[in-house]
Structure 1
Amino acid sequence: MLNQRTSVLPSPKKMIYHRIAEQGIVSKAELLADFSLTSSTLTRLLEEMVDEKLLLGSGLGPSSGGRKPILYEINSAYGYFFGLDISRRHSSLGFFDMRMNPMSFTRWRMDEAMTPSELVEYVSTNMRSILNDHRIESHQVIGVGIGAVGPLNREKGLILKPLYFPAPGWTDVPICQMIKDKTGIPAHLENGANTALIGEQWSMRRENLQHMLYVHAGVGLRSAMMSNGQIVHGSIDMEGAIGQMIIQTDGPRLNDGGNYGALEAFVSVQALEKLAQSHVKMGRGNLMNALPMPPEQIRYDTLLHALMQGNTYIMELFLQSAVHFGIGLANLLNMFHPEAIILGGALINSNERFYQTAIEIARKNTYYYPDYQPVFSKGELREDAVATGAALMVWKGMTI
């Protein structure tokens, strides 16, 4: 199991390899400027990595008067990675080469039949199909990274007690062992919000962002923090902790295990469903025309359809949720002060006004605003971020 908490510094060879991977094509002179190594030591390390087929010579660069420098790049065919996103509404499987180029992506809906054993069967079948399509042997795959809904025990590869999965059986699931037993490929587990942030930072690596926040608002609220380029881990899995942030004393709670007045009671798929059901029962806003079904049958997809049809009352429900979400974001910003905030999830993508309203409220309630103005975005990878970051986690942890 990859141990993300290790304090052991990476070897010079690994640091050089990662720098070349980040830059694309690099000369020895550029690497000498970045690392405190002698020319002979750097030459030896580069030659070793070329001999090991980790690196390829990429021709000659322009000369500044002497011999033209040799250029180096990652050997994309040295090995391969799968990245698996296990979420409540949709899951996905990505396949990547050593340069983290996506070679395949498969996405499916999580329904009442998608138990852990069914998911592992479905994933392993798709993995075999992908490898056959690309004519790649399973022994060439270095590992499977899994980004999953928590809470988790990362060291033991266990999904513990996640809420709101439509299928039964998602308690104390040894997902890493199940994947390895079925495919023969080692698997490594991480919180899905964390892998999303790992993936998004990689996609924006040219900007050299070191302090970032990722928040997913959907069936549940999920968050991840990165400081000095490293994911912040607590003593226990923090995946759903943001949802329990209290924003209204003695307010409602979403379920029996949550805090009263917690953010998830105002900002989540379930919160919107419960609020709409309650309003229909009370006959508010002429919702019977927009939601012509018994209150208990109202689901998020129903609300989303009414929102897209331009129902103003449904829009108001979403915007009220966005205001509360903005308050929650402001609390995080005032505590952490990241450079960039990536927002994702079903609610963020429901309507552009939800996204913009949440950002506006967050900015207005940020203590150091306008001197401190972090960058908000929906990210570059978006729905592919979890799977990409999961594969990248294995790539970063491999022995070089």
Structure 2
Amino acid sequence: MVKANPSPANIRKAVYERIAQQDDISKAELMAKFTLTGSSLTRLLEELVGEGWISESGLGQSTGGRRPILYQINPAHRYIFGLEISRLYSSLGLFDMKLNALSHTRWTMDETMTPERLIQYVQEQVEVMLEARHVPKEQVLGIGIGAVGPLDRNQGVILNPLYFPADGWSNVPICRLIEEKTGIPAQLDNGANAALAGEHWALRGENIQHMLYVHAGTGLRSAMMSGGQLVYGAVDMEGSIGQMIIQADGPRLHGTGNYGALEAFASVQALEQQVRTQVKMGRNQLKGAENIQPEAIHFGMLTEALHNDELFVHELFSQSAAYMGIGLANLINILHPELIVLGGALINAHGSYYDTAVSVAQKNIYYYPEYQPVFSKGMLQENAVAVGAAVLVLKQLYI
């Protein structure tokens, strides 16, 4: 049973969140979750219905008396935008209060996509989406932003992310700029936290309390949830997993970071660098790339070669997946999650990568097989950040 906070606003929010988690819920089911009197709960439900936050959805099954009234949240009472800002692609979604996606767009982050251009594009898309759905801007609760870190979450600033194709992405007060351009309040979190929040929302009926999210793409990102809440450190932790040392005195990626760090073995950039190094040494084993300059070799070429069963590339991906499995096992042995969600371009490059990473991780989990966490590619996958950004706005809802 949840002990209700004496603050009326917190009680309202807690009840509303419970109804959101379980549509078609009865007063009796709510009574079992909260230490409220029947009259207090009835009055609260009447208020939420009267204000439009929830609605009656029908009658439930009788347990001997009258059939109980069922309640659900009103999806059209308010709306939320979820914005993903990533290195390769960014996306924007418009969601109702049940987090159904009403509109969605995705675009490439090329060398022209500066902060100014992205903000202008977001503003244009916000107007298009609202007009298409006939939604007044006043009904929008906010824009949640899940962005590549590091960042200052409290100040709403993207600090100094690496590897953006366009210039200008250092010390960007993204929340302030978005708010000024759109007239809608914005809040910021890193993309890994947003993705984890989204995947947790998608599984809300399963009551999972401890989750780990790992994204392997251009860089490595991770997020952790304990007791159903995101875990935050003293600084933004999104990219810290990439600096996990898995080989003492091992290589560094691009001459930066820790020696022997995971990112030097299991990242898109690590694979690209390994192939480019082979080509520079005159050991080009990548078919069709004989006349290509080393720096022009990119991940798309490697994934194509992987699906064409080129042995050289298959071995590189297999080694990378094994190192990823070791990194995962290290995290799991510390955090002991129930569920690990894996995402990103590297994880999804080929089924064998995911399978190898999971297999290696399982072999190195302490207490295995008595302790067997579940591995998944997630339910939302490439939409996880945008959905999760909207979830983060919903979590801050004041009703």
For normalisation by structure 2, the TM-score amounts to 0.96
- Answer yes or no: is the 8 Å Cα contact 1:304–1:350 preserved in 2: yes
Distance change in 2, residues 1:356/1:9 (3 Å)? farther
Partners in 2 of 1:395 and 1:120 — Cα distance? 22
| Residue of structure 2 in register with 1:38 after alignment | 37
Spell out, residue by residue over 1:358-384, the C-alpha distance to the aligned partner (whole angstroms, 9 max, x if none).
Answer: 001101111111111100000000000
Shifted more, 293-302 versus 183-192: the winner is 293-302
| Residue of structure 1 in register with 2:196 after alignment | 197
Spell out, residue by residue over 1:92-132, the C-alpha distance to the aligned partner (whole angstroms, 9 max, x if none).
Answer: 11110011111111111110000001000111111110111
- Answer yes or no: is the 8 Å Cα contact 1:291–1:298 preserved in 2: no
Partners in 1 of 2:166 and 2:290 — Cα distance? 26
Q: Does 1:49 align with 2:48?
A: yes
Structure 2 counterpart SS, 1:303: helix
- Answer yes or no: is the 8 Å Cα contact 1:243–1:262 preserved in 2: yes
Distance change in 2, residues 1:44/1:152 (3 Å)? same
Amino acid corresponding to residue 286 of structure 1 in structure 2: Q
Shift of 1:155: 0.6
The correspondence of residues 16-165 of structure 1 with structure 2, limited to 5 A, is 16-165=15-164
| Residue of structure 1 in register with 2:317 after alignment | 318
Structure 1 counterpart SS, 2:197: helix
Structure 1 counterpart SS, 2:285: helix
Q: How many residues align?
A: 393
Shift of 1:396: 1.1
Partners in 2 of 1:211 and 1:291 — Cα distance? 48
Amino acid corresponding to residue 175 of structure 1 in structure 2: I
The correspondence of residues 250-269 of structure 1 with structure 2, limited to 5 A, is 250-269=249-268
Seq. identity, %: 60
| Residue of structure 2 in register with 1:185 after alignment | 184
Structure 2 counterpart SS, 1:106: strand
Shift of 1:47: 0.7
Amino acid corresponding to residue 313 of structure 2 in structure 1: I
- Answer yes or no: is the 8 Å Cα contact 1:285–1:313 preserved in 2: no
| Residue of structure 2 in register with 1:295 after alignment | 294
- Answer yes or no: is the 8 Å Cα contact 1:81–1:394 preserved in 2: yes
Gaps of 5+ in 1: 1-7
- Answer yes or no: is the 8 Å Cα contact 1:290–1:306 preserved in 2: no
Partners in 1 of 2:396 and 2:145 — Cα distance? 13
Shift of 1:59: 2.2
- Answer yes or no: is the 8 Å Cα contact 1:195–1:387 preserved in 2: yes
Shift of 1:308: 2.0
Shift of 1:291: 5.3
| Residue of structure 2 in register with 1:237 after alignment | 236
Structure 1 counterpart SS, 2:91: strand
- Answer yes or no: is the 8 Å Cα contact 1:290–1:311 preserved in 2: no
Spell out, residue by residue over 1:219-269, the C-alpha distance to the aligned partner (whole angstroms, 9 max, x if none).
Answer: 000000000001000000001000000111111101343111100111111
Shift of 1:334: 0.7
Amino acid corresponding to residue 207 of structure 1 in structure 2: E
Shifted more, 346-355 versus 292-301: the winner is 292-301
Partners in 1 of 2:106 and 2:8 — Cα distance? 36
Partners in 2 of 1:266 and 1:151 — Cα distance? 21
Shifted more, 55-64 versus 166-175: the winner is 55-64
For normalisation by structure 1, the TM-score amounts to 0.96
Partners in 1 of 2:250 and 2:241 — Cα distance? 16
Structure 2 counterpart SS, 1:334: helix
Spell out, residue by residue over 1:152-171, the C-alpha distance to the aligned partner (whole angstroms, 9 max, x if none).
Answer: 00111000000000000000
- Answer yes or no: is the 8 Å Cα contact 2:341–2:375 preserved in 1: yes
Partners in 2 of 1:133 and 1:269 — Cα distance? 38
| Residue of structure 2 in register with 1:5 after alignment | none
Structure 2 counterpart SS, 1:11: helix
Partners in 2 of 1:92 and 1:399 — Cα distance? 26
Q: Does 1:358 align with 2:357?
A: yes
Distance change in 2, residues 1:235/1:171 (3 Å)? same
Partners in 1 of 2:166 and 2:61 — Cα distance? 59
Distance change in 2, residues 1:210/1:10 (3 Å)? farther
Amino acid corresponding to residue 295 of structure 2 in structure 1: E
Partners in 2 of 1:291 and 1:84 — Cα distance? 40
Spell out, residue by residue over 1:180-224, the C-alpha distance to the aligned partner (whole angstroms, 9 max, x if none).
Answer: 000000000001100100000110111111000000000000000
Shift of 1:66: 2.3
- Answer yes or no: is the 8 Å Cα contact 2:287–2:305 preserved in 1: no
Spell out, residue by residue over 1:313-342, the C-alpha distance to the aligned partner (whole angstroms, 9 max, x if none).
Answer: 111111111011111001001111100000
Partners in 1 of 2:9 and 2:260 — Cα distance? 44
Structure 1 counterpart SS, 2:141: strand
